[in-house]
Amino acid sequence: MESAKLRWPTVADEQLRAGVHRVLFAVADRGGAIGYAAPPSRTETDAWLDQVLTQVGEGDAALALATLDDEVVGTGLWRRGPKPIFAHSADVQKVATHPAARGRGVGRLVTAALIDDARKAGIETLALGVRGNNHGAIELYERLGFREWGRLPNVIEIGAERFDDVRMFLDLGRDPGVVLRGSAPGGPGSSPRRG
């Protein structure tokens, strides 16, 4: 069985646009939690792809596409947080595998590659949100080192149903000179407790 290969596009031709749309449409059509309430139109996925590739060109994102026989079967990206104070963190988004390619390690391939690429780009923390009923994805992210940091109960709306938004993060490390203050008092913007 052939293994999926990775592509890191910086521009999109017609074949790439059609392939990305095919994956996102199929996953959303089967109820996948990738940010669409209904399967997206080609216009929607093209606009999304253009926005992502603009950010890729600016160094604020990376798009990984998994292919089998030159056909896109998986997607995923990391996108840097707003500058300047969140530029060291990024969100992992739209990790999706076409239903016909499930069970072939595509999600793991894409997510592991995004982790490595984000680390090389100087990202210190990766975060993501995953629907609470997507136990397979949660387990994959945990195997890759992500940990749950919070859960918004029943906020993801799919018709009349509500699901948890599970928030996860992965610490990628940082320069030795970075001071980790966490929630300790002191530093810029600090205020004393009142009571």
- Tokens 């996102």 found at: 24
Task: For 26-66, write each residue's pLDDT tens digit.
Answer: 999 998 888 888 899 999 999 999 999 999 999 999 999 99
Residues 6+ apart with CB under 8 A from 83: 60
In contact, 92 and 78? CB cutoff 8 Å: yes
What's the average model confidence in pLDDT over 101-110? 94
Does position 2 have pLDDT exceeding 80, yes or no? Answer: no
- Nearest by Cα to 109 from 95, 130, 93: 95
Angle, vertex CA 89, rays to CA 59 and CA 64, nearest 5: 50
Return d(Cα 127, Cα 5) in angstroms, integer: 24
pLDDT at 1 over 60: no
CA distance 70 to 156: 34
The two most distant CA atoms of the chain are separated, in Å, by: 65
Domain coordinates of the chain in residue numbers? Answer: 5-171
What share of the chain in percent tops pLDDT 70? 99
In the predicted structure, residue 195 carries a pLDDT above the cut 80: no
Cα Rg of the chain (Å, integer) = 18
- At 168 the pLDDT is 98
Superfamily for domain range 5-171: Gcn5-related N-acetyltransferase (GNAT) (3.40.630.30)
Q: What is the pLDDT of residues 126-152, one digit of tens each?
A: 999 999 999 999 999 999 999 999 999
